[in-house]
């Protein structure tokens, strides 16, 4: 393998990372929705699943806009966030209330990861003069930020519900 020397190559690699992460989240979000008992939290995960499917399409479109084949790149970052969730559930066996609260944090960890990835990708796309790519990536970024806000609001609500009187 020759050494990577071009910002465009780095951009494409990181685009592959987020494609892998989004695909992983398409598989994970239905699991989180099933684990949630709070109806609003469950609906939130289901709504974000629909958005995440669109994110996959948008990322593929970015590859296309750049004349490249969409290629996912194994992303240990999102794998780690997923593994942390799985291990917690297995080891701690949380009650439904604690599980809901835990899921708000687990979801927020994934959103923060995606927000960091898309923020960097938008900056790079603009620097590369890829206006269409930047616009598509900004759409995804905006929805990740919304999803994070929703999770934070749920965390606040569910924490208060569980607080001693
Ligand atoms: Zn997403
Ligand atoms: Fe997300």
> 128 CA distance to ligand 1 centroid (A)?
22
Banded pLDDT at 111 (limits 50, 70, 90): very high
The widest CA-to-CA distance across the chain, in whole angstroms, is: 63
Per-residue pLDDT for 158 more than 80? Answer: yes
Average pLDDT along the chain: 96
pLDDT of amino acid 1: 72
User: What average pLDDT does this structure show over 56-64?
Assistant: 98
Q: How many CA atoms lie within 13 A of 43 on its CB side?
A: 5
User: What average pLDDT does this structure show over 82-104?
Assistant: 97
Q: Which domains does the chain have, with CATH numbers?
A: 7-70+94-162 (1.20.1260.10)
SS3 content of the chain, % helix, strand, coil (to 5): 85, 0, 15
> 9 CA distance to ligand 2 centroid (A)?
24
5 three-class SS: coil
Q: What φ, ψ does residue 69 adopt, rounded to 5°? A: -80, 135
User: What average pLDDT does this structure show over 8-33?
Assistant: 98
Among candidates 3, 13, 27, which has minimal Cα distance to 59? 13
Banded pLDDT at 163 (limits 50, 70, 90): confident
Per-residue pLDDT for 117 more than 90? Answer: yes
User: What average pLDDT does this structure show over 69-88?
Assistant: 96
Among candidates 77, 79, 162, which has minimal Cα distance to 117? 77
> 165 CA distance to ligand 1 centroid (A)?
37
Q: What is the pTM assigned to this prediction?
A: 0.95
């Amino acid at each position: 393998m020759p050494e990577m020397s071009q910002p465009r190559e780095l951009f494409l690699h990181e685009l592959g990372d987020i494609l892998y992460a989004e695909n992983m989240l398409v598989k994970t979000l239905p699991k989180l929705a099933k684990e949630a008992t709070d109806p609003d939290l469950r609906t939130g995960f289901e709504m974000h699943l629909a958005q995440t499917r669109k994110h996959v399409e948008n990322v593929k479109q970015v590859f296309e806009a750049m004349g490249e084949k969409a290629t996912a790149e194994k992303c240990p970052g999102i794998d780690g966030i997923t593994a942390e969730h799985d291990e917690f559930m297995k080891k701690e066996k949380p009650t439904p209330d604690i599980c809901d609260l835990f899921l708000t944090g687990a979801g927020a960890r994934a959103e923060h990861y995606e927000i960091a990835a898309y923020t960097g990708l938008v900056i790079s796309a603009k620097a590369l003069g890829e206006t269409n790519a930047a616009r598509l990536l900004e759409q995804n970024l905006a929805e990740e930020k919304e999803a994070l806000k929703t999770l934070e609001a749920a965390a606040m609500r569910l924490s208060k519900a569980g607080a001693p009187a």
